[in-house]
């Protein structure tokens, strides 16, 4: 009898299993909330959270509606991730091309990249207060390492013959990076951007819990201060959904790039 356990799942089967998992999670949550073992004030039902999220779409809380808080969060997020990518990707490609630059940057980078982004919060608060600079700094610290590492790895795996051929033809360093290393490393770079984007989104929320006066993280803090658990969980729901959408978009971009290069 053939072993079907290793058969790849179809999209429909994967969707059905995903729905079953989600339904199971919601069922456990509902049962725990309705059981009475945990006060409803601290564990509202999924329906109460959904109703609160719907209400917050149009009703202000902590100075803004939920979409307005998300807009502020996404603004900071876009700046932080764009900064991380604009510095990390070129630097990673250059490190892959120049051994001397790799030797200069790597010791500093290896010493800093293991510091959790949330550990920079005190400095962000001291340097930028509750302005936009603090969250951007923390998002950058979360998104930068994967951008640099994947660009570097992509550049290191480029066939050396292509680089040597470009140099023999008199191609300068900038054109070698943009016309040889960048196209060849694109799948690895996209993968790094996907990881960096996820870490940046998580870092943003942590930053907004402390060094922001608006945003979905700030809304959660205010909900906790007002003992409004449905508001806190509505904010968490929004964070999860937006993070999922960002990951899906970047995952699709990664698939398209791999298909275009014949890697998938």
* Residue 30 resides in a domain: no
pLDDT tens digits, 144-159? 999 999 999 988 887 7
In angstroms, rounded to a whole number, what is the distance separating the alpha carbons of residues 134 and 148? 21
Question: Is 12 a domain residue?
Answer: no
> Does a structural domain hold residue 33?
no
Does residue 23 lie within any of the structural domains?
no
Domain for residue 70, yes or no?
Answer: yes
**pLDDT score for 83:** 94
* Tally of structural domains, the chain: 1
- Rounded Cα distance, 257 and 187, in Å: 6
- Would you say residue 18 lies in a domain? no
Range of the domain at 209: 43-260
Is 118 a member of any domain?
yes
Question: What confidence tier does 6 reach under pLDDT thresholds 50, 70, 90?
Answer: low
State mean pLDDT over 54-76: 91
pLDDT tens string 198-254: 999 988 877 787 767 788 988 998 998 888 899 999 999 999 999 999 988 988 888
Give the model's confidence band at 128: pLDDT under 50 very low, under 70 low, under 90 confident, else very high: confident
What is the arithmetic mean of pLDDT over 24-50?
A: 87
CATH code of 147's domain: 1.10.3720.10
* Residue 204 three-state SS: helix
pLDDT(66) > 90? yes
**Joined tokens for residue 181:** 């290393």
Mapped onto helix, strand or coil, the DSSP state of residue 64 is strand
pLDDT in tens, 70-127: 999 999 999 999 999 999 999 999 898 888 898 999 988 988 888 888 888 888 888 8
Of the pLDDT bands very low, low, confident and very high (cuts 50, 70, 90), residue 1 is very low
Which string of b and e fits 176-203 if b means at least 16 CB within 10 Å? bbeebbbebbbbbbbbbbbbbbbbbbbb
Q: What percent of the chain has pLDDT over 90?
A: 32
Provide the CB-side half-sphere exposure for 230 (13 A, CA). 17
Q: Give the residue-averaged pLDDT of 60-64.
A: 88
13 within domain boundaries: no
């Amino acid at each position: 009898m053939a072993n079907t356990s290793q058969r790849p799942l179809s999209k429909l089967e994967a969707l059905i299993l995903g729905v079953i998992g989600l339904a199971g999670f919601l069922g456990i949550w509902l049962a725990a909330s309705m059981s009475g073992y945990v006060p409803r004030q601290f564990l509202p039902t999924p329906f109460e959270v959904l109703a609160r999220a719907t209400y917050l779409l149009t009703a202000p809380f902590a100075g803004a509606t939920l979409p307005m808080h998300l807009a502020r969060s996404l603004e900071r997020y876009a700046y932080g991730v764009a900064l991380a990518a604009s510095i990390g990707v070129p630097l990673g490609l250059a490190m892959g091309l120049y051994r001397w630059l790799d030797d200069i940057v790597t010791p500093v980078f290896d010493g800093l990249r293991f510091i959790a982004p949330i550990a920079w919060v005190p400095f962000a608060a001291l340097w930028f207060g509750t302005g936009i600079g603090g969250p951007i700094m923390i998002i950058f610290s979360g998104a930068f390492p994967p951008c640099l590492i994947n660009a570097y790895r992509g550049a290191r795996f480029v066939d050396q013959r292509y680089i040597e051929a470009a140099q023999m033809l008199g191609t300068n360093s900038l054109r070698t990076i943009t016309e040889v290393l960048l196209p060849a490393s694109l799948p690895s770079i996209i993968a790094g951007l996907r990881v960096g984007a996820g870490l940046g989104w998580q870092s943003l929320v942590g930053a907004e819990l402390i060094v922001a006066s608006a945003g979905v993280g700030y809304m959660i803090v205010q909900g906790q201060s007002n003992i409004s658990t449905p508001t806190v969980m509505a904010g968490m729901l929004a964070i999860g959904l937006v993070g999922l959408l960002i990951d899906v978009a970047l995952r699709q971009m990664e698939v398209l790039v791999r298909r275009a290069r014949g890697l998938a």
